[in-house]
Amino acid sequence: MAPHATSADSSSLSPPVRVVIVGNGPVGHRFLEDVLELDSEKRFQLTSICEEKRHAYNRVQLTSYFKHHDPDQLSLCGSSWFGEHNVAFHISCRAVKVNREAHTVETSDGRYIAYDKLVLATGSYAFVPALGNLDQCAKGLFVYRTLDDTEAIVEYIKSGRVRRAAAIGGGLLGLEAAKALYDMRVETHVMEHNPYLMPRQLDATGGKMLVDMIKRLGIHVELNWRTQDLLLDDGGSLRGLRLKNKASGEMWEFECDMLVVCAGIRPRDELGRNCGIELGAQGGIKVDDHMRTSDPDIYAIGEVASHRGKMTYGLVAPGWEMSKVLVSNLTGVNPDAAYTGSDLSTKLKLLGVDVASFGHSDDFWFKNQFKTDDATKAVSLTQADPFLGHYKKLVFNPTGDFLLGGMLVGDVSDYTRLLSAAKRGHLNGKSPAELMGFGGAGEKKTDGGLDDADVVCTCFGITKGDIDSAVKDKGVSTLEQLKKTTKCGTGCGGCIVTGPVKKILADALKKMGKDAFSGICSHFPLTRKQLFDVVKIKGLKSYKEIFDHVGKGDPKGCETCKPAIASILASLWNEHILASSRDVLQDTNDRFLANIQRSGTYSVIPRIPGGEITPAGLRVIADVGVKYGLYTKITGGQRIDLFGAAVQDLPQIWEELVDAGFESGHAYAKSLRTVKSCVGSTWCRYGQQDSVGMAILLENRYKGLRSPHKLKGGVSGCVRECAEAQGKDFGLIATDKGYNLYVCGNGGARPAHAKLLASDVDEATAIKYLDRFLMFYIYTADPLQRTAPWLENLEGGLDHLKQVVIDDKLGLAEELEQRMEYVIDTYKCEWKEVVDNPKLRARFSQFANTTDKDQGMSDQSVRGQSYPVPWPETGPWEAEVSKDTSTDVKQWQWTDVGTVDDFPLNGGAAVKVGDTQLAVFRVSKGDEGDRWFATQNMCPHKRAFVLSRGLIGEHQGEPKVACPFHKKTFSLETGACLSGDPYKIAAFDVKIDGGRVSLHLPPTQELDKALATSRWRVTGGESNPQSGGGSPKILDTFGEDGGKCGTQQQQEGACGGKLNW
């Protein structure tokens, strides 16, 4: 006899329609959102079953995890979302069987969940082809599909076992995986059995151009090679691949330590297969235009759905379209809604290279219209620029009056316009040559030639007309409002980052007689350039002076405007950033002149100009590292990084370094970091000039130069480019006549190749041009804007920049040079100033009321050095002890924690009471005196004891603090999280009596029971400390009984051929 089936909820609706959805990926979660939006009568009782240990996250942005290593940044909602919307949520719980007769879903933990309607959104798994022993469970073999996969890849690379890695597959997934490996700084190879990359989206010319561009980044591409077998050592670890060349038959034993298989995906249709539902011809669960399967009470959406039994889609946008159709039918909002297929057009950024492919219909790809040479079927126009790496191909019908599709490599700025032309069915009166851009197109529309019906956000089908309507009818005036109103830009984000949405919004506002908001924030409704000019012309030298002149609203400002103003003040007047209360304007990195690390400690990076250092200098750094127990690493900028310094040890560490002749490396600042060099003509037989000497000269010239974003330089001694100068904000490559000067390049998430500003210039001319260029950038860039996007947005682009810097078109050359000379002449080492100033030095203490030292995160030993243990998994968090929630406050007492002068004005400091860390904040109210606040010092997001080092601001009149780690903001009055996350921190009252500061606190034992550092210290990846009573409310799962549904997650991975959904 089968166990009794539990209902998913105890809803009072009669009768409730029990809808169970299996899968909580992006499509499954969108289904929940769609139901909640359209189910106005609340007739549906929702249950979601999630096999993974995390709720829905953005798989489109999965590669970004290798940059930030923070799963929360990918999350599509907070953990509390399910409870807040009455969705029964079963996490770490796998659906193992569907009983169609009983209308139940059996789960991996033995539950039987009843349904009236069942929706399968189980997605797909990474396909591992049956080649040789490729399906063997080898150490070092991975697939790339989920966050678990990415975490496993990261941990394996961190183990130190990976020198060279390979990704099998030259399609989208393979190139994404290669980008991830490349970001982890391992030698990366892409293995593709075809003669070029992305053969399903590009033709041979476009694919080979993509190969060339990716190779320039330092990634190896191996074409025409098919994997035959894995090569394993005696311990079962991967040591290489046996490959066969498709053209020559040659065999190759390729050595590598890691392999990521990206050979495509397959639908996870086993639930449907096992319960007898009809499947598609190529797998997947067959559905009709209403997303119904062969069982009228079971539906399928997303990658598992085989539309009409013929087509499964491996993209997220079709799944969202399916969800909307299904929900429209279920709720009766639009019972005639039908799904007729999705557009396969895509615009991507692969390893920093923009690639787009678009078509009028699926025939463009499936019938190879984009590759055909048969002029009776299609005629192509192509345009190629191998120097810039641009390729454009448009395919027309034989009569030239219909655009069948096209592809773009390198420059995708015309993607939206051309996609709309292909979908429109006609050329709107243009000839193929005009559409190609060969001339005769007439006056160009200011909106890029888009019509109201043209789709600009393909993830959600948002048209230009939708944006115009949002502005006109719904009062939208900012990007954030547009996202909330239309969801435009909340999918892959490409329509905002590289697409036309920003301009469409600005044009729509202009038509309404409004200006798109371009200010820094609500407190300073000016652009950075406008604010820079005001500060420069009026000679303003403090935040208060600037706010009095142009500020709006609450003078407390926020975490956005304060660092921007601090940067402007430093760029113009070059005074010490900690002088005159400027420390409380700074993010924690600038406030403590060091980069904060995830353990709450800091890094120490002395300047090593040009990467040149003596053995005696190395010995000093080694002695400091040993003495203070610091992790040591050589950086990509040719200097040495020391990690793990406690804030109170920083002045003493730097005193020893300064005494040895070292200066601040400004690794914590938005300023010049390094000027990288090769050895040049001093040692290298190919060297044309003394690149080391030039790099040292430039680094010493521009050290301490504060700018809107960090600056990096490079000097290469010849065209072999060992210093990677063309990937820097400024770079010089030596020639036999002098130097070629490049500007506006960068690495990072959006790599950009530097542009040639001047050729064969001598040393003095190069420096003159650099002075002008750097200062012009500082004058005109937006906050946190690197030089590459600054140039992209600069009206007139590179030509205009040359006219300003070389030709002095604006008559600014003399002023720019003088301003640079002023900065150079007034330079002082920031750390030497602190070391020599007792008052500044005193600010570097962990606690204001004691010299005790607390470690907020434990260490682990890896490869002979200390690392912090991994961050924990955390869920919603609410402190049980707080002024507004505690019931027994009669036992509370006032506890003295120091003098008023111990706490910085408009800033915070930590105090220690018992074993508990608290943060005390002092906020100026001008003539009305000061307001005081106290909270716990631990940010619950990552259990980091750092809130006292956060920036103070205000949100709709409410004082707040922003955590310096991830900018989670909390009310100083109530402890509520103002950034929408499910956290609430403890808050306490403060009183001032006779110049002494006291906090109203519970007895120390009760305080420690709730907030003790020893209890919440991260010791090794745990999610909820079990010691101590009175556990706070950590609610990381939601089931119908409030308990966790399943504790053991099946992880079959590559070896089982299936992944989690």
Give me the helices (H) in 184-296, please.
Answer: 204-216, 270-274
Least confident of 199-203, 588-592, 1053-1057: 1053-1057
The mean per-residue pLDDT over the stretch 860-889 comes to 83
C-alpha of 910 from chain center: 30
Residue range 167-220, pLDDT digits in tens: 998 888 888 888 888 878 889 999 999 999 888 888 888 888 888 888 887 889
Residues 6+ apart with CB under 8 A from 332: none
pLDDT at 516: 67
Residue with tokens 């429209």, as numbered in its chain: 328
C-alpha of 903 from chain center: 34
Strand-by-strand arrangement of the 631-634 sheet: 595-596, 602-604, 640-645, 631-634
Residue 36 sits at φ, ψ, to 5 deg, of -60, -30
Q: Is the distance from CB of 968 to CB of 939 less than 8 angstroms?
A: yes
Give me the helices (H) in 367-459, please.
Answer: 415-424, 432-436
Sign of the torsion formed by the C-alpha atoms of 573, 575, 581 and 585: positive
Percent of the chain with pLDDT over 70: 91
How far apart, in whole angstroms, are the C-alpha atoms of residue 428 and residue 426?
6
pLDDT band at 1022 (very low <50, low <70, confident <90, very high): low
Residue 134 sits at φ, ψ, to 5 deg, of -65, -25
Q: Is the distance from CB of 957 to CB of 943 less than 8 angstroms?
A: no
Residue range 954-994, pLDDT digits in tens: 877 789 999 999 888 999 999 999 877 789 999 999 999 99
Residue 460 has pLDDT above 90, yes or no: no
More confident: 357 or 73: 357
So what's the architecture of 17-126+267-331 in CATH? 3-Layer(bba) Sandwich (3.50)
Beta bridge partners of 923: 931
DSSP line for 596-629? E-TTS-EEE-B--GGG---HHHHHHHHHHHHHHT
pLDDT at 135: 64
pLDDT at 356: 86
**CA distances from residue 630 to 626, 734, 845 in whole angstroms, order as listed:** 7, 38, 18
Q: Is the distance from CB of 998 to CB of 893 less than 8 angstroms?
A: no
Residue with tokens 């476009």, as numbered in its chain: 206
Least confident of 23-32, 646-655, 693-702, 918-927: 918-927
Q: For helices 543-550 and 561-573, what crossing angle results, to 10°?
A: 110
Pairing of strands 238-245, 951-955: unpaired
Residue range 919-930, pLDDT digits in tens: 999 998 777 788
Q: Is the peptide bond before 15 cis (omega within 30 degrees of 0)?
A: yes
The whole-chain average pLDDT of the chain stands at: 86
C-alpha of 454 from chain center: 29
Q: Is the distance from CB of 217 to CB of 751 less than 8 angstroms?
A: yes
Residue 999 has pLDDT above 70, yes or no: yes
pLDDT at 4: 39
pLDDT at 1061: 26
- Let me know if the fold of 343-438 is the same as that of 595-830: no
**CA distances from residue 32 to 28, 147, 689 in whole angstroms, order as listed:** 7, 21, 63
CATH of 141-263, one of 3.50.50.60, 3.20.20.70, 3.40.640.10, 3.30.465.10: 3.50.50.60
What burial letters (b/e) apply to 275-289, b meaning 16+ CB within 10 Å? bebebbeebbbbbee
Beta bridge partners of 715: 677, 732
How far apart, in whole angstroms, are the C-alpha atoms of residue 946 and residue 27?
36
Query: Measured in Å, how far apart are the chain's first and last C-alpha atoms?
Result: 30
Beta bridge partners of 390: 385
Q: Is the distance from CB of 517 to CB of 526 less than 8 angstroms?
A: no
**SS3 labels along 442-488:** CCCCCCCCCCCCCEEECCCCEEHHHHHHHHHHHCCCCHHHHHHHHCC
Query: Which sequence spans correspond to the domains of the chain?
Result: 17-126+267-331, 141-263, 343-438, 447-514, 528-588, 595-830, 874-1016
Residue range 112-167, pLDDT digits in tens: 999 999 999 999 988 888 777 766 678 899 988 888 888 899 889 988 889 999 99
CATH 2.102.10.10, domain 874-1016, yes or no: yes
pLDDT at 549: 92
Amino acid type, 268: R
Task: State the virtual CA torsion across 41, 45, 49, 50 in degrees, nearest 10.
Answer: 40
pLDDT at 749: 59
Q: 702 exposed, middle or buried (CB, 10 Å; 0-12, 13-18, 19+)?
A: buried
More confident: 236 or 101: 101
How far apart, in whole angstroms, are the C-alpha atoms of residue 261 and residue 635?
30
The mean per-residue pLDDT over the stretch 666-684 comes to 94
Residue range 334-371, pLDDT digits in tens: 888 999 888 788 777 666 678 888 888 877 777 777 77
Residue range 769-811, pLDDT digits in tens: 999 999 999 999 988 889 998 998 888 889 999 999 999 999 9
How far apart, in whole angstroms, are the C-alpha atoms of residue 198 and residue 175?
9
Q: Is 532 helix (H, G, I), strand (E, B) or coil?
A: helix
pLDDT band at 256 (very low <50, low <70, confident <90, very high): very high
**CA distances from residue 847 to 553, 665, 850, 1003, 1009 in whole angstroms, order as listed:** 33, 26, 6, 20, 20
C-alpha of 277 from chain center: 40
Instruction: Classify residue 27 by its DSSP letter.
Output: H
pLDDT band at 79 (very low <50, low <70, confident <90, very high): confident
Mean pLDDT comparison of 182-186, 427-431, 700-704, 879-883, highest-scoring range: 700-704
Q: Is the distance from CB of 265 to CB of 124 less than 8 angstroms?
A: yes
Residue 67 has pLDDT above 80, yes or no: no
Tokens found for residue 371: 């590759």
Residue 766 has pLDDT above 60, yes or no: yes
How far apart, in whole angstroms, are the C-alpha atoms of residue 236 and residue 230?
10
- CA-closest candidate to residue 300, choices 47, 23, 6: 23
Least confident of 290-294, 488-492, 864-868, 908-912: 488-492
Q: Is the distance from CB of 405 to CB of 418 less than 8 angstroms?
A: no
The H or E element containing residue 50 is strand 44-50
pLDDT at 236: 86
pLDDT at 494: 65
How far apart, in whole angstroms, are the C-alpha atoms of residue 1004 and residue 893?
10
C-alpha of 1060 from chain center: 23
The mean per-residue pLDDT over the stretch 451-474 comes to 82
Q: Is the distance from CB of 410 to CB of 390 less than 8 angstroms?
A: yes
Q: Is the distance from CB of 191 to CB of 75 less than 8 angstroms?
A: no
pLDDT at 484: 75
Q: 473 exposed, middle or buried (CB, 10 Å; 0-12, 13-18, 19+)?
A: exposed
How far apart, in whole angstroms, are the C-alpha atoms of residue 704 and residue 669?
9
Residue range 529-577, pLDDT digits in tens: 899 999 999 999 999 899 999 998 888 888 888 888 989 998 999 888 8
What burial letters (b/e) apply to 827-853, b meaning 16+ CB within 10 Å? bebbbbbbbeeeebbebbbbbbbeeee
- CA-closest candidate to residue 897, choices 934, 843, 943, 947: 934
So what's the architecture of 595-830 in CATH? 2-Layer Sandwich (3.30)
Residue 663 has pLDDT above 70, yes or no: yes
Residue 424 sits at φ, ψ, to 5 deg, of -70, -35
Give me the helices (H) in 595-741, please.
Answer: 615-628, 650-659, 691-702
Domain 447-514 CATH class label: mainly alpha
Residue 696 has pLDDT above 70, yes or no: yes
pLDDT at 360: 84
- CA-closest candidate to residue 462, choices 436, 440, 489, 437: 489
How far apart, in whole angstroms, are the C-alpha atoms of residue 216 and residue 351?
11
CATH 3.30.390.30, domain 343-438, yes or no: yes
What burial letters (b/e) apply to 569-607, b meaning 16+ CB within 10 Å? bbbbbbeebbeeebbbbbbbbbbbbbbbbbbbbbbbbbb
pLDDT at 1052: 30
How far apart, in whole angstroms, are the C-alpha atoms of residue 882 and residue 986?
5
